[in-house]
Structure 1
Amino acid sequence: MTDTCAAELLTRVLSALLREDVVGLRSRSTLVHRPDGDWLRLPTTEDALLLPVTEDGFQCEHRARLPLLVRESDGSELTSYGTVLGALRELAEPVDRDGFDAFAEECRQTLDTMRLHARTRAEVGRRLIDRYGHDPARWTGLAYDTLAARLDHPVYPTARGRSGLSEEELRSYAPEFHPRFALRWLAVPREAVTLTGPLPEPWPSPARLGLPEAEQTHVALPVHPLTVGAPLDEALRTTGLAGRALLAEQPHLDVVPTLSMRTVAVAADPSLHLKLPLATATLGLRNKRSIKPGTLVDGAAGQRLVEAVIAREPRFRDTILHADETTYAHAGHELLAVLCRGFPAGLEDSVVVPLAALLAEAPGGRPVLDHLADRFYGGDLLALLDACLSLLFDWQTTLFGYGIALESHQQNVSLVLGPGTLRLLFKDNDGPRINATRLAAVLPGPWGFDDPRTFTAGDGPVADVFATITVHLCAGAYAFGLAERRDALLALVRERLTEAVDRLGGEAGAVLRAHVLDAPRLPVKAMVTAGTLLSKERSGAADVNKHYTSGPNYLLGQGGSG
Structure 2
Amino acid sequence: MHRPPTAEAEVAEELAVVRPGLLPRYEAELPGARAAVLSRLWRGLAHDPLPWVARGERGRDGLTLHLSDGRRLHGPRPDPYATGAYVTVVRLDERAYDDPARLMTDLAVPHSASFATELGHSVASLALSRAGQDGEREAWPENDWAWEQRIVDGHPFHPTCRSRPGFSVAEQLAYGPEHRPVVDLGLVPVRAEECLVTGVWPGDLRDGEHVVLPVHPWQAAHVLKRTCDERLPGRPLMSLRTLALPGGTHVKTSLSARLTSSVRDISLPSVAASAALSEFAGVPAARTDGLLHVTRTLGAAAAGSPDFAAVLRESPRAYAGGGERILPVAALATTELPRSPGWLAGFARLALTVGLRLLELGVALEAHGQNLLVVLSPAGDPLRLVYRDLGDIRVSPARLARHRIPVPELPARMVTDDERTLRRKLFGSLVAGALAGTAGSGEALATALKTAVRDLPHTPDLAALRAGPLPTKALTLMRLSPQTPGDQWAELPNPLH
* TM bin (shorter chain): 0.7 to 0.9
* Matched residue, 1:447: 408
Aligned AA (2:467): D
Shift of 1:153: 1.9
**8 Å contact kept, 2:35–2:86:** no
Question: SS at the partner of 1:104?
Answer: helix
Give the share of equivalent positions with the same residue, in percent: 22
1: distance between equivalents of 2:288 and 2:96? 60
Shift of 1:348: 6.7
**8 Å contact kept, 1:410–1:473:** yes
Corresponding position: 1:56 with 2:79 = yes
1: distance between equivalents of 2:228 and 2:417? 51
Shift of 1:293: 1.9
Shift of 1:115: 1.8
Question: SS at the partner of 2:212?
Answer: strand
Query: How do 1:259-408 and structure 2 match up within 5 A?
Result: 259-266=238-245, 268-269=246-247, 271-284=248-261, 287-311=262-286, 313=287, 315-316=289-290, 319-343=291-315, 345=318, 347=320, 349=322, 350-360=324-334, 368=335, 370=336, 381-408=340-367
Shift of 1:168: 0.6
Shift of 1:288: 0.5
Distance 1:470 1:178, change over 3 A: same
2: distance between equivalents of 1:185 and 1:57? 44
Question: SS at the partner of 1:501?
Answer: coil
Shift of 1:326: 4.2
2: distance between equivalents of 1:194 and 1:44? 51
* Matched residue, 1:255: 234
Distance 1:101 1:41, change over 3 A: closer
* Matched residue, 2:143: 140
Distance 1:482 1:76, change over 3 A: closer
* Matched residue, 2:125: 113
Query: How do 1:103-252 and structure 2 match up within 5 A?
Result: 103-122=115-134, 125-126=135-136, 129=137, 134=138, 136-148=139-151, 150-200=152-202, 203-206=204-207, 216-233=208-225, 249-252=228-231
* Matched residue, 1:523: 471
Aligned AA (2:43): S
* Superposition CA RMSD, Å: 2.6
TM-score by length of 1: 0.76
Question: SS at the partner of 1:188?
Answer: strand
Could you tell me which of 422, 426, 432 is aligned with 1:466?
426
Distance 1:299 1:526, change over 3 A: farther
- Structure 1: stretches of 5+ with no match in the other structure: 207-215, 234-246, 361-367, 374-379, 503-508, 557-562
**8 Å contact kept, 2:300–2:312:** yes
Distance 1:348 1:258, change over 3 A: farther
Could you tell me which of 26, 46, 53 is aligned with 1:18?
46
1: distance between equivalents of 2:65 and 2:346? 44
Question: SS at the partner of 1:410?
Answer: coil
* Matched residue, 1:429: 390
Shift of 1:160: 1.3
Residues 365-414 of structure 1: per-residue CA shift (max 9 Å, x gap)? xxx2x1x58xxxxxx83343344223222211111111221112110111
Structure ID, larger Rg: 1
Could you tell me which of 489, 493, 500 is aligned with 2:449?
493
Question: SS at the partner of 1:183?
Answer: strand
2: distance between equivalents of 1:333 and 1:147? 33
Shift of 1:17: 2.1
* Matched residue, 1:554: 495
Shift of 1:55: 4.8
Shift of 1:165: 0.6
Aligned AA (1:463): R
**8 Å contact kept, 1:436–1:458:** no
Aligned AA (2:494): N
Distance 1:400 1:205, change over 3 A: closer
Question: SS at the partner of 1:457?
Answer: coil
* Matched residue, 1:210: none
Could you tell me which of 407, 411, 436 is aligned with 1:476?
436
1: distance between equivalents of 2:106 and 2:283? 53
1: distance between equivalents of 2:274 and 2:205? 25
Question: SS at the partner of 1:353?
Answer: strand
**8 Å contact kept, 1:320–1:425:** yes
2: distance between equivalents of 1:114 and 1:497? 36
**8 Å contact kept, 2:81–2:441:** no
**8 Å contact kept, 2:49–2:477:** no
Distance 1:197 1:301, change over 3 A: closer
1: distance between equivalents of 2:38 and 2:101? 10
Corresponding position: 1:535 with 2:482 = yes
Residues 244-289 of structure 1: per-residue CA shift (max 9 Å, x gap)? xxx67423221110011100001x21x20010011211122xx101
